[in-house]
Copies of this chain bind each other. A is one copy, B any other.
Amino acid sequence: MNEYVAIDTLKFLLYNVHQVEELLTKERFADYDKTSLDIFLDSIKTFSDTALFPFIKDMDEKPSYFKDGKINVHPQFENIIKTAGELGIVGAIFDYDDGGMQLPSTVFQAAHFIMSAANNHVPGYFGLTSGSANLILSFGSRDLKEAYVPNMLDLTWGGTMCLTEPQAGSSLSDVVTAATPTDQDYYQIKGQKIFISAGDHQFSSNFVHLVLARIKGAPAGIKGVSLFVVPKNRSTENGEFTYNDAAIVGEFEKMGQKGYCTTHIVFGDNDDCRGWLVGEANKGLSYMFQMMNEARISTGLMGASIASAAYYSSLKYANERPQGRKLNSSGQKDATEEQTLIINHPDIKRLLFSQKAIVEGSLSLILQSSIYLDREMTSSSEEEKEKYNLLLEILTPIVKTYPAEKGIESISNAVQILGGYGFCSDFMPQQYYRDIRIIALYEGTTGIQSLDLLGRKITMKNGKALELLAIEIQETIKKASNFDELQPFANTLLENLGLAQKVIGVLMPHAMKGNYERFLADATVFMDFFGTIVIGWQWLKMATVAKQTLEDKNGNQPELFYESKIHTMKFFYTYEMTRTKGLAKTMMNTEELTISVSKDIF
């Protein structure tokens, strides 16, 4: 019995559905073959089984805490940081030249999924260090790279992203942290940042903060925001380190992910905080956004992985707990019979299939997007590069949001399977239910992602991204249509593609007329609608590969494994795809209910 993740499904998705081996023909990945990828994934699974999963409950019960200016995380992090450093997790996708492993991003995301399902309080520490190192590598000077990246690769130092400020929240154009030029190579930094994930801990000797700040005199709004490297401790001329006036002043106490610290940092309270500009002035936000796709994929992945852990936890319970009896043909139960396992009740099966559909559908989409990312990176032509970039751009807000929002529902179903025990701290689902609630808020809330999807991605380059996505979906429909069993579902997907075009056709004229508020008022409903169709595409793709494998009799799993993919696809189309018409109707309403009224109506 799987405890938090199904490796067989993960490998089916990687190798069969998304054919990651095709990527290995690219020069960048030439050193890898299926065997070496499997060895890497197996080592991550062993790490997760031994160093991560056994501690997730204890990290919830003994949260990271702030005391005397310091963040203290769970003692197990000492071992975790050391082992993760040895495994090369931070630099897994970096170039060999930068000390990385040059792994395909898709494979790394699969590894990340395993770790995060085992213990979602942990991988953010690796991810933020990796992301901030990547920013320095991509846009920083050679000096900055040499000064910071090597120590980050093995987690001797940690990295963070400092975007949010108390008065601005999601509105990054309102960042006020100030950077004052000096006659040296650095700026004086002054300001405060909140919600800094992985912001500090006792097992890395230094932290490298990537800070958005405004150089004195810069233009208002996002066009005046620059990016700085601001270490917690800076090196001095004699090679020693001195405190750089970057003070942890508190930690946010949260309802979940309690092992993963969220800090409040004050820079330059004593006017002695130095920051080094990354790249050019006033381009900070554009640099950040070039890392955003990966960060958002990782966040969605974290949501899907928590839902995975909850799914397997509730599945285990359903397979062990006897309760109730089957109804006989008079609609009665025979109390003298033995109780049946609850997994035999149709409603429990419904709760399980609903989780399986959300978890595996999300995971498939995550890997799909990662494939596009890898293909973009390794494209030989500009045209191909643009194609994969646009596909990635349009899917990213969905990858971030679908697992976050539907993951809540999925885990609520896991809680429900345990009955009263689901609410009790002795069992895991209640922790996952708390943990996952952050995912729809991190890295751009669902509202922000939805504005991005409808307001930017659907309209970008005259709808080219959407057009490319429609071609990909139609290709899946065509392949599925070769099988009688799948034909009706292929037809449904095609209808839904048409419905999406129709909805966009109704909404776009509002934008054309300059009524953007109206155009975007139901963006979140559009996200739900379009996300459901996209996951429906992934399920049809999975079912088609499963069906083909059954026909070819060349699977390395039992037949029931492939049948279960086809069955879950049918479940998704029967219980989830049926929602799209209602959502379309909502979006095409002419009432303008959320625009036409003043705030006093509440």
Contact = CB atoms under 8 A, between A and B. Distances in A.
A34 interface: no
B173 A601 contact: no
A425 interface: yes
Nearest to A352: B602
A243 interface: no
A441 B417 CA distance: 10
Given A220-B336, A350-B525, A352-B602, 8 more contacts: A194-B420, A221-B333, A319-B599, A331-B514, A346-B522, A348-B447, A349-B597, A581-B581
A77 B335 CA distance: 42
B570 A593 contact: yes
Interface in A559-601: 560, 563-564, 567, 570-571, 574-575, 578-583, 585-586, 589, 591, 593-595, 597, 599-601
A195 interface: yes
A415 B254 CA distance: 12
Contact of A323 (B168, B254, B455, B581): B168
Nearest to A451: B347
A239 interface: no
Contact of A601 (B430, B434, B446, B563): B563
Interface in A293-330: 315, 318-319, 321, 323-330
A321 to B, nearest CB: 8
Contact of A335 (B220, B346, B599): B220
Interface in A399-448: 408, 412, 415-416, 419-420, 422-426, 430-431, 433-434, 437-438, 440-442, 445-447
Nearest to A335: B221
A415 B433 contact: no
Interface stretch (A337-345, A467-475, A499-507): A337-345
Interface string A194-210: 11000000000000000
Query: Taking each of A431, A434, A595, which has the highest tally of chain B beta carbons within 10 Å of its own beta carbon?
Result: A434
A523 to B, nearest CB: 7
Nearest to A255: B430
A521 interface: yes
A204 B378 CA distance: 72
B330 A425 contact: no
A585 B594 contact: no
A282 interface: no
Contact of A327 (B353, B433, B517): B517
Contacts of A516: 327-331
B323 A522 contact: no
A43 to B, nearest CB: 27
Interface in A165-181: 168-171, 173-174
A566 B422 CA distance: 38
Given A349-B597, A600-B560, A425 B171 contact: no
Contacts of A344: 599
A520 B579 contact: no
A323 B169 contact: yes
Interface in A529-585: 560, 563-564, 567, 570-571, 574-575, 578-583, 585
Query: Taking each of A220, A330, A419, A431, which has the highest tally of chain B beta carbons within 10 Å of its own beta carbon?
Result: A419
A252 interface: yes
14 contacts: A174-B335, A221-B333, A253-B424, A255-B434, A256-B423, A326-B517, A327-B516, A343-B599, A416-B441, A416-B445, A416-B446, A567-B593, A574-B586, A578-B585
A420 B195 contact: yes
Interface string A231-261: 0000000000000000000001111100000
A80 interface: no
B524 A350 contact: yes
A243 to B, nearest CB: 28
B514 A329 contact: yes
A525 B195 CA distance: 39
A164 interface: yes
Contacts of A170: 323-324, 419
Contacts of A327: 516-517, 520
